[in-house]
Chain A
Amino acid sequence: MYLDFHAVLVFLITGVMMVSTPMVLGMLFRPRNSYKEKDMPYECGEDPIGGAQIRFDMRFYTTALIFIVFDAEIVLIFPWAHVFAHHPEQGLALVAGLVFVTIVFFGLIYDWAKGDLDWVKSFRNKRRVQG
């Protein structure tokens, strides 16, 4: 059982090493002459204005909500995909999976039709109210 996760463990360790090794090496070798301008966040040469931890747009949150629902869908569809190729009743398995995906797809259509996937929806609404 644990052998199944050895690959995951190797990936994890390699990933951590690939990030931490340059950081530790840099810490050991780089010269230490830090000043204010150098510690500034670098964004294509533009000087940053204001703090980084400001209030974000609500639309990010709705997008994340939609993402989690489809994340859950993928998690639930995974056991289905795992057994599908060797399943004795493939037609039944296909119908079961299709019904599952279709039901969730209706939610996507609903959000799409309501304009929740639309980034500039609020602008459009405001214009409609004003006009």
Chain B
Amino acid sequence: MLDFMFIFFASLALLGGLLMAFHPNIVHSAFALVAALFGVAGLYWTLGADFLGATQVLLYVGGITVLLLFAVMLSTRDAARISIARYALMAPIVGLLGAFLVTTGKALVPIVRAAGGALGPTEPTTEKIGNLFMDPTAFMLPFEILAVLLLVVLVGAITLARRGEEDAA
């Protein structure tokens, strides 16, 4: 069952990514990105990271894609015809980087095991994260600092977006 789920989500992520890269229509590419990001969320779930997977669906599948689609719709028509061939040089670089990450990740497995860390499916993580957020000796301060970060993003992003609008007008 686990192998089947892994293969299903991994192929969803791969096919979505390939479709995103090679589809001529950039709007369709954005929708293919939804499939790819959802596949990654599924991979998180098969690895036992339930909170991370839900975050991936909520923020990336639900939020970033909407933002991306709006960005496409805001750009001119010519921008929608950007060819992937222009970025062909990027492909081997990204591929090498991915291979490097996979090999270092595999090298890390025995080190994490030796340190007593759990790998792979364990128990749900959301409750643990919540308890750590509420613990003043653990992550309560970072939790509140995250709120400050969100505040900065809220003010900063809107200010930057509005400035672009005024320049365009």
A contact set with B: CB distance below 8 Å: 1-2, 4-5, 53-56, 58, 60-62, 64-69, 71-76, 78-84, 87, 89, 92-93, 96, 99-101, 103-104, 106-108, 110-111, 114, 116, 122
Q: Is the interface of B mostly helix, strand, loop or mixed?
A: helix
| Bound CA span A102–B38, Å | 32
Q: Is the interface of A mostly helix, strand, loop or mixed?
A: helix
Are the CB atoms of A96 and B169 closer together than 8 Å?
no
User: Which residues of chain A come closer than 8 Å to B59, judged between CB atoms?
Assistant: 68, 71-72, 75
Are the CB atoms of A1 and B74 closer together than 8 Å?
no
| Bound CA span A69–B74, Å | 20
Q: How far does the Cβ of A100 sit from chain B's closest Cβ, in whole Å?
A: 4
Which chain A residue has the least Cβ–Cβ distance from B67? A64
Q: How far does the Cβ of B94 sit from chain A's closest Cβ, in whole Å?
A: 25
Are the CB atoms of B55 and A75 closer together than 8 Å?
yes
| Bound CA span A68–B70, Å | 13
Q: How far does the Cβ of A80 sit from chain B's closest Cβ, in whole Å?
A: 6
30 residue pairs from A and B, CB less than 8 Å apart: A1-B122, A1-B123, A55-B73, A58-B74, A58-B161, A60-B73, A61-B74, A62-B162, A62-B165, A64-B70, A67-B66, A69-B150, A72-B63, A72-B153, A74-B58, A75-B59, A76-B143, A76-B150, A78-B51, A78-B126, A80-B133, A80-B143, A83-B130, A96-B134, A96-B144, A99-B144, A100-B144, A107-B153, A110-B155, A116-B158
B contact set with A: CB distance below 8 Å: 1-2, 5, 27, 45-46, 48, 50-51, 54-55, 58-59, 62-64, 66-67, 70-71, 73-77, 80, 121-124, 126-127, 129-131, 133-134, 136, 140, 143-144, 146-148, 150-151, 153-155, 157-158, 161-162, 164-165, 168-169
Are the CB atoms of B77 and A56 closer together than 8 Å?
no
| Bound CA span A75–B51, Å | 9
Are the CB atoms of A79 and B75 closer together than 8 Å?
no
Are the CB atoms of B148 and A79 closer together than 8 Å?
no
| Bound CA span A76–B51, Å | 10
User: Which residues of chain A come closer than 8 Å to B73, judged between CB atoms?
Assistant: 53-56, 60
Are the CB atoms of B131 and A83 closer together than 8 Å?
yes
User: Which residues of chain B come closer than 8 Å to A61, judged between CB atoms?
Assistant: 67, 70-71, 74, 161
Q: A103-B144, A108-B154 are in contact. Are A4 and B134 (CB under 8 A)?
A: no
The contact of A103 among B63, B134, B151, by CB within 8 Å, is: B151
Which chain B residue has the least Cβ–Cβ distance from A74? B58
Are the CB atoms of B130 and A80 closer together than 8 Å?
yes
User: Which residues of chain A come closer than 8 Å to B70, judged between CB atoms?
Assistant: 56, 60-61, 64
Which chain B residue has the least Cβ–Cβ distance from A94? B134
